[in-house]
Structures are given as structure tokens and as C-alpha cells.
Amino acid sequence: MTIHPDPADLTHRIVRRREQLGLTEGMLAHRAAMSPAYLRQVLCSGPEFDPPGFVRITAVLGMTWPELLSGRRGDAPPGQTEAEADPHGRLLRLTEPQCWELLGTHGIGRVGLPGSSAPVVLPVNYVVDDRTIAYRTAPGGAAAPDEGSPVSFEVDHIDEHRHRGWSVLVLGEARHAGTPDEEQHLATLPGATPWAGGSRPLWVRIRPAGITGRHIDGG
């Protein structure tokens, strides 16, 4: 069955996106190779009036067709759905064993490091080894803290449709892997290969001074 989107909804999303980008109607029309009057006609009539014209408009705005239809990017951060929150939702504290269970053996987390003017938070592939968090990075890179630096590490999971989720926060100290045997051991663990690729020979361990977590659950 062919879906015919409401031109008014599409126009609203296009105008909102245009304003976010700081474009005037004339600027959008020029970049989409049409006059302002024709742009308004296209928006009022809907995509079936001029499909190539709509394609040019979405290209100028950096939007995809599914995003235009739904009003939401496929790669948008969680928390943008319009579903109502559970009125009986509760924020619960997780025990330390529960935190380690949620961290699992490996995954993607965010490491917080001291910066020159403010803390820096970066995503990293991590592994769990003997109640420590470890990840690989490039020596001297943004994710390479000095030996003994205070660091934080956070992992979370969000179910935005049900407005539920959990987060685990580790506070500790950064240590560099000290021996080839230690580096070889870490490299054999599941999830040890960084997604970013490239040469990342430095292994950083976070030795926790504390680990806490919270879970938003339904009533």
C-alpha cells in the first residue's frame, strides 16, 4: 500500500530544519535550484508534485527521506520519541555485583579524562579483566591519560520506547599495561580490537576506586 504523507507535516519539518541550519526561504530555494515561489508550491503540493524537487530539498537540508517522513533521524541519540513516560517509574540503585554483570565482558563505553581546560569524554572499546576496565589507544592521543591520572568510565543502555534504562559509573585511576605478557593477555580477550583501527598499542587499565549504577524501572 502506498503511503501518502501529509504535505503540511512535511512542510513543518522542512521549515524547522531550514531554521535550524540558519537558512532563509530564498537560500533554500536557490540551493535546491528553484525559485522561492516554486519552492512554496512544491511544499504545499507534496512530494508527488515534483519528486526530484523534493530530493533536492532534502539533500540541501542534509535529511533522508525516512527522516523527512518520520521527523526523526535514524542515528539520532535516544530520548527523542514522543512516548509517554511510565508514571510509576522508579530510579533504583544497583549493587556492585549487578554493575559488573551489566558491564559484561566487553563493549563500548565512555571514558572521562582530565583536560587542559575541562574534562574530556571519549568513546572507547573496553574489556573487563579481573575487576578492571581496559582499553587500547594511541600513545599521546586524546584517550591516553598520564599514569596515575584520575578517570571515570560510564556505560549505559536506554530503552526510549518504554523510558527505561540503566547506567554504570566507574571512578578510579589509570594505569598503563606494564609488560608484554599483560598486553598479550588483554589482546586475546573478546572485544579487544578497537573499532577505530590504526595503531593503538597502548593498553590503559582503570582500577576502580568505586563503582555505582542506577536503573530506571517501571512500577
pLDDT tens sequence for the chain (219 residues): 445 667 788 888 888 888 888 999 999 999 999 999 999 998 888 888 888 888 899 889 888 777 777 766 655 556 665 555 566 668 899 999 999 999 999 999 999 998 878 889 999 999 999 999 999 999 988 899 999 999 999 999 887 667 788 999 999 999 999 899 999 999 999 989 888 878 899 999 999 999 999 998 755
Q: Do residue 15 and residue 116 come from a single domain?
A: no
The enclosing domain of 43 has a CATH number of: 1.10.260.40
Note whether 137 and 156 are within 8 A (CB): no
Q: Do residue 196 and residue 101 come from a single domain?
A: yes
* Cα gap 70→50, rounded to integer Å: 20
* Cα gap 178→200, rounded to integer Å: 15
Q: Which domain holds residue 24?
A: 7-70
The enclosing domain of 144 has a CATH number of: 2.30.110.10
Q: Do residue 26 and residue 59 come from a single domain?
A: yes
Q: Do residue 210 and residue 140 come from a single domain?
A: yes
Alpha carbon 46 to its chain's center: 33
Name the nearest CA neighbour of 39 among 16, 15, 62: 15
* Cα gap 135→144, rounded to integer Å: 10
Strand 120-129 versus strand 164-176 pairing type: unpaired
Q: Do residue 65 and residue 30 come from a single domain?
A: yes
Whether this prediction's pTM lies above 0.85 is answered by: no
